[in-house]
Amino acid sequence: MWNGADTAHAQALELELDWLAELLNARLEQHFQQTPLALTLPPPALPAGSELARVHAELAELQGLPSLSVEERLLLALALAPHLRPAALDLLFMRNQNLERGFTEFGGIKSQTHGGFIPTGETAAFLIAGESLARRFALLALFDPGHGFARRGLLRLEAPANGEPQLSGLLAASPEALQRLSTGVWHKPDYNAQFPAKLINSPLSWDDLVLAPEVLDEVRQLCAWLQHGPTLMQGWGLARSLKPGYRTLFYGPPGTGKTLTATLIGQQAKLDVYRIDLSMVVSKYIGETEKNLARVFDQAETRNWVLFFDEADALFGKRSAASNANDHHANQEIAYLLQRVEDFPGVVILASNLRGNLDEAFSRRFQSMVYFPMPDPEQRLRLWRGMLAGQHLAPDVRLDEIAERYELSGGAIANVVRHAALSAVRHGREQVRIGELRSGLAKELRKEGRTL
């Protein structure tokens, strides 16, 4: 529903785009009259409650400045214009009568479906730098990875085709920037072919997680890093000798709590945890795997996500001797991934059933390697009781005996409980009988080649 905050966001963007239109007209007049570039129109004051005002303040704070420069505000407005006011840049379609084509200095591209003018880095240079090389070089700094635009994932200058000028790349505002500036809410990308990661969460809490004390202590170390890492890196000066971020491996049998632990770590730190779908990441086409991974890492860096690679040995596996082009390509993918993970300033959690399946060079880069063993009888009893409330158990069911006799992971116990509960409900009962539990146990044990 439309509200006052939405109105403030829209008003701010209207003011900024009106200012861009006035500057564009003034700049074209300067260009054709061959007068020096002068950005004399002051930027508008924005509604204090608008997201655009907050983003400007956030970017300025990142750079230790009281406010954004005129050039920075103009660049962001230019990137937003095709999305919010499609006709705003149509003036730049004018043709050079002497050459019978568009003006090179205006830059821009014509898209396949959009009828309007799409700005490039050259368009920004026309508005902001003019003929001045010094201003042009200063503009390039606004696209630097260390600038707030890149660090906050607001806009980017896409790489041009091979051999083409650096500023001929598309000037693109991110979908997240558009969502945030129009609604005040960060968009959380959904799982699709272009974004092979899924936000994971759980209704469970730490009380539902059953881990051995030594495992829980390792997990608490990671939680402590999320809470105190910035203090250690900056306040203690450890940034001089330590790489940013934290990389850990969770390994052990399936169903022992690796995914739930990763989810709870994020929930405690109030960070989103994204699970990477390796089947969507890996591509048979050269370079596509790296592009798929780059999309995830680039957004994760700007949004402070926790990245969780389940069944990580599918992509982080051991490199082989390159006997053909396919082997060489696979090794390149692993090397690229190792570098991105090592440079990632946040938390990366890898999960694998077998530690030995991972590349040794990568294993040395872990800050911790946490083994999730099968639960012992006492832990299994806690799991059984946590999943099956006493009022839903028939009098003849002895969970302590079941926990002692059958070695199962937490995931397997959940499957048995599901089977038994469904059987009871189908027969109109609210209590699970021992026979139904035994049937579920037999099904789970058969998966592992065991019998009751």
Q: Which two tokens stand for residue 162?
A: 């091979």
Residue among 214, 317, 223 nearest 271 (CA):
223
The band of 282, judged by pLDDT with boundaries at 50, 70 and 90, is: low
pLDDT confidence band for 331 (50 / 70 / 90): low
Residues of the chain with CATH 3.40.50.300: 197-371
Residues 102-154 pLDDT 10s: 889 999 987 778 888 999 999 999 999 999 999 999 999 999 988 989 888 89
CATH T-level fold of 377-447: Helicase, Ruva Protein; domain 3 (1.10.8)
User: For the domain bounded by 197-371, which CATH number is listed?
Assistant: 3.40.50.300
Report the amino acid identity of residue 285.
Y
CB 440 within 8 A of CB 416: yes
Give per-residue pLDDT as tens, 76-116. Answer: 999 999 999 999 999 999 887 777 788 899 999 877 788 88
DSSP-based three-state secondary structure for 64: coil
Give 55's contacts (C-beta < 8 A, 6+ positions apart): 152, 154, 180, 181
State the DSSP code for 373: P
Region of poorest pLDDT, from 42-46, 342-346, 374-378, 424-428: 342-346
Q: Is residue 83 helix, strand or coil?
A: helix
Angle separating helix axes 121-128 and 70-84, nearest 10 degrees: 130
The H or E element containing residue 248 is strand 246-251
The percent of residues above 90 in pLDDT, for the chain, comes to 59
Question: Binning pLDDT at 50, 70 and 90, where does residue 339 land?
Answer: confident
- CATH 1.10.8.60 spans which residues of the chain? 377-447
